[in-house]
Structure 1
Amino acid sequence: MTLPPKVYTFLCGCFAALGSITYGYDLGVIAGVIVAPAFLNRMDNPSADYTGFIVSSMLLGALCGSVPAALVADKFSRRAAILAFAIVFLLGGSLQTGAMNRGMMLAGRFFAGLGIGGLTVLAPLYQSEIAHPSIRGRLTTLQQFFLGIGALLASFVVYGCTRNYPGTVFEWRFPLALQLSPAVPLAGLIFLFPESPRWLVAHGREDDARRSLARLHASGDETDVFVVSQLAEIKVAVQEERRQTAKWSRFVTDKQAFRKVMIGIILQFSVQMTGVSAIQYFAPAIFKGFGFGTEQTLLLQSINSIIAIIGEISCIVFVDRLGRRLPLIWCNMAVGSTFIVVIILQALFPPTDAGVFNVGAGRTFVAMTWIFNFFFSAGIGPLSFAIPVEILSTDLRAKGSALAAMSCWISNFMIGQITPKALATSQWRYYLLFAICGFTNALTFWAILPETKGRSLEEMDMYFEETPWLVLGKTGKIKQKDAEDRLRQGIVAGGAAGGAQGQWGDEESAGDHAGEIKKSATGDVGVNTLDA
């Protein structure tokens, strides 16, 4: 039975997101591993600083993996890059599992980070380039959903090993070994899936691109109007891009490219300033401040992971209806509010000198972490991956996504390094940083982020040209399926190369100011300009 095109494309996006499980699993597993007695003994009881470096060395590797992932993806294809970085991750995971000393552990963490850094750039890149316009948000937010699945698996695996195998080597080696499992099918099967049609067109392989589009969007029918229209639109966009340099320097010399990549960098940096990594990496130490032991913390974090999955599913379901701006703004305000409550709790109900904790404060704290995780997973985390890949043009998409990802890893590394000391010295005052940043994040995106819902990737350049840098809460709205309906009618946004103008106004007709596809009996396509 042939799957409906959108279902097939969605499943392709799910497969690419297997790489995201590796990142989520690492986030969830390392908090339990670094407190396991057998692990500490094998690592010669590292100091707090060294433990922080074990955690953050993965992030250093991820930072180093981002740019090479973009280079490989642009040179050898999106699928080839996914294969390469899945193999690198398998190397790093194997080294961690068999680590006999600190050096081997750090090497494993670094190489696993290289793989994770590459895969977190490549998965949304690939997903965005194969998606129907009306479900692009659904596909690109799969990254966070599968990240959540990885974190959920890790939390239950760590809890089970801590409870049933305390003090044994199995307690920490098995959780680390299990991280290899999603990367194996990803590496082995990725070439069974369609290549990015946009990459194929950019490399002069138009026949392959037509077949890929037909496979993705028309159950293999290469004469389908949607396929023909989309191919023509991609060709027009690529021809325009070829008039400009695709070098890294363009992010400095081209003001719109600079603007787009800065939105991505600011967005990824803002994610870490919500406090999410501090909670994930150092949950036992944070929960200890409210009287929870390690085993209790791991159980609560397992429940937290389930709540995160619910939030991520909510994002996938509603992102293409609600758009990107409002969920990002409101979710940042929500997570900032939870930290305000946590600050009040720790300031008013500190443990007594005898080590007695206020039970009510502890329960409220747990509730706040769950609320935090829901709103983070329903908007902030997923959209941080979705937005950069959809606002950049094909020639700059991989490079710009890599630069945005580097911002994520640098800020993540910073949080991983300073959190142990900050918790020990500043306690609840450290959380003021995250409370304030939640609201400043919301204000920033209200001011600078245009709404991108419903537009095709090829429309983004013209849309940004016509949108002010400071949108200040006002941005053009279009219907969820506007671009898709236009393509199904054979209407193509021609851009400069097609001699046509885009359609950006509130609920404007898809046919206004566009180029129309005319398909001859031989399948040749031309772009004709329609007068306004």
Structure 2
Amino acid sequence: MGQSGGIQRLYTLWVCDTIVIDVSSSWVERLLTIFRYSLDTGNIGPVTTMPAFRKTFGDFSPTVHGVVVSSVLISGAFTALIAGILGHRFGQVRIFAIGSFIYGVGAAIQSSATSLSAFIIGRLIQGIGEGLFVSNVWVQVSEMSPTRVRGTLTALPQFTIVLGLVCGFFICYGTSRLGASTTLSWRLPLVVSSALGFLLSGTYWFVPASPRWLLARGRFTEARDVLIRLGFDEVEREKLLEESMTQVQAHNPHDVAIWEEFKQTFAGFREAFSAPFRARTIFGCFIMGMQQLAGIDGVFYYAPILFEKAGLSGEQASFLASGVSALAILGITIPATFLADKWGRRTSSLLGGVLITTLMLLMGSLYAADKVHADRGAGKWVVIVSIYLFAIVFNGTWAIGFRIFLIESLPRKTRSSASSLAQSANWVCN
């Protein structure tokens, strides 16, 4: 029995190594795509609170600050609506590459901006690029994953998001040490983001296409090879091939014009809200919207401001505290990622909701009762610890569980359209 268990474990490790090594270029490209997105999330808050940034653009109101930070989401929310159909038509890899290039252009405009309007225009352009790749990543990863490891592999992008947050915070912490006398302190993090965008736009030339996209195009031999390299077993592989052959025979994708596909996309949105798919689509949009309205962006985007209000003095101390919170998030995301298939989606969602609500009510009550003071009292330390705990709980439960549940709960017929709607709802709430 022990020998059999040892052989089984060795086989499992071999399968995992095969999945990771044989298609490493494809997985690295997908994960770096999400890393680039979260790098912006990690650095935009610290960048816009740097004295050098305010010295360049002048002081502005909290409302204007909110517009600067969230403008990337405005354009991204609209782009996300059509990203699915563009990926279906031209292939996810190509759309990822185009989105990466647009992202790089937007970040480059921001890094060279001399006026606040130019900076906001750069963020709007960057948002177009983000909308093209972010909304498709979880669907793409899910469809590239064998059923037996889909939960874990679908959770990996969330791990990469947290890694990007950590890097974003600490890059800004490092550049803030250059001082307020040079604009490089806020420009360098954006230069890094831009360079990463341009670098990843070149992955189109060597990253293999999605097997499901190849199947939809009728390229069965190429799709079979990729499925084997991805570690799909023979039963699952042959089932996909059989289903795809039937669909291609019934409908030739090359006969449909791009404008016809756009019409079909909006028809798909209508279908997603029709019976019997309506309830799943509405629930998917609801949970992805609530994921943002829970308040996590108050931690990610405005962490430096939150820590300053809680009593941490000094720009570098605030940045460092924000980075430490990101490290704490990373610490919980690692086990949560690999335990995604063992934790029930329902248990994770309910437990996360209770803890998140409790922590948010605690922090809000302290501020409402005027118990948080920078120079006295324990209130500031309760808020600081609560911020850490809030970020840890959210990323260990809702951040991973909701994404996986969304993809798994949507029927294949409306998965592309419904997931685009859910991602758009996520960004609108953001």
TM-score (norm 1): 0.70
- One-letter code aligned to 1:306: L
1:308–1:373 Cα contact (<8 Å) kept: yes
Q: How does 1:131-530 map to 2 (within 5 A)?
A: 131-217=145-231, 224-233=234-243, 235=245, 247-251=267-271, 254-293=274-313, 294-348=315-369, 350=371, 356-358=375-377, 360-412=378-430
RMSD: 2.7
- CA distance 1:238–1:373, shift in 2 (3 Å): farther
Is 2:128 aligned against 1:114?
Answer: yes
Which moves more between the two structures, 196-205 or 333-342? 196-205
Unaligned runs of 5+ in 1: 413-532
TM alignment of 1:17-36, pairs within 5 A: 17-36=31-50
Aligned residues of 1:13 and 1:142 also touching (Cα < 8 A): no
Specify whether residues 249 and 241 from structure 1 end up closer, same or farther in structure 2 by C-alpha distance, changes over 3 A only: farther
Max Rg structure: 1
**Paired residues of 1:201 and 1:234 also in contact (CA < 8 A):** yes
**Retained in 2: the 8 A contact 1:63–1:405?**
yes
1:17 aligned counterpart, secondary structure: helix
Q: What amino acid is the match of 1:128? A: S
The 8 Å contact of residues 39 and 193 in structure 2, kept in 1 or not, is answered as yes
Q: Distance in 2 between matches of 1:4 and 1:283?
A: 38
Give, in angstroms, the shift of residue 109 of structure 1.
0.5
Q: Distance in 1 between matches of 2:274 and 2:250?
A: 14
Is the alpha carbon distance of 1:190 and 1:316 closer, same or farther for their aligned partners in structure 2, counting shifts above 3 Å?
farther
* Matching residue of 2:77: 63
Percent identity, aligned pairs only? Answer: 23
Q: Does 1:53 align with 2:73?
A: no
Preserved contact between residue 71 and residue 123 of structure 2 (Cα < 8 Å): yes
Q: What residue identity is the alignment partner of 1:312? A: T
| Other structure's SS at 1:141 match | helix
Which of 5, 10, 20 is equivalent to 1:7?
20
Give the distance between the partners of 2:351 and 2:372, measured in 1 at CA: 33
User: Match of 2:49, SS?
Assistant: coil
Deviations 1:432-457 (A, max 9, x none): xxxxxxxxxxxxxxxxxxxxxxxxxx
Q: CA deviation at 1:154?
A: 0.9
Q: Which has the higher helix share?
A: 2
3-state SS of the aligned residue for 1:131?
Answer: coil
Once the two structures are superposed, residues 402-449 of structure 1 have per-residue CA deviations (whole angstroms, 9 ceiling, x without a partner) of 11111111111xxxxxxxxxxxxxxxxxxxxxxxxxxxxxxxxxxxxx
Q: Name the CA distance, whole Å, in 1 between partners of 2:246 and 2:276.
A: 19
1:160-186 CA-partner distances (Å, limit 9, x unpaired): 222343342011001111113433443
| TM-score with structure 2 setting the length | 0.85
Cα deviation, residue 107, structure 1: 1.1
SS at match of 1:46: coil
* Residue 339 to residue 2, structure 1, CA distance change in 2 (3 Å): closer
The match for 2:90 among 76, 88, 100 is: 76
- Alignment partner for residue 42 of structure 1, among 56, 66, 81? 56
What is the deviation of 1:73? 0.5
Report the CA distance shift for 1:14/1:382 in structure 2 as closer, same or farther (over 3 A). farther
Are the counterparts in 1 of residues 52 and 179 from structure 2 also a CA contact under 8 Å?
Answer: no
Going from structure 1 to structure 2, the CA distance change for 1:396 and 1:325 (only over 3 Å counts) comes to same
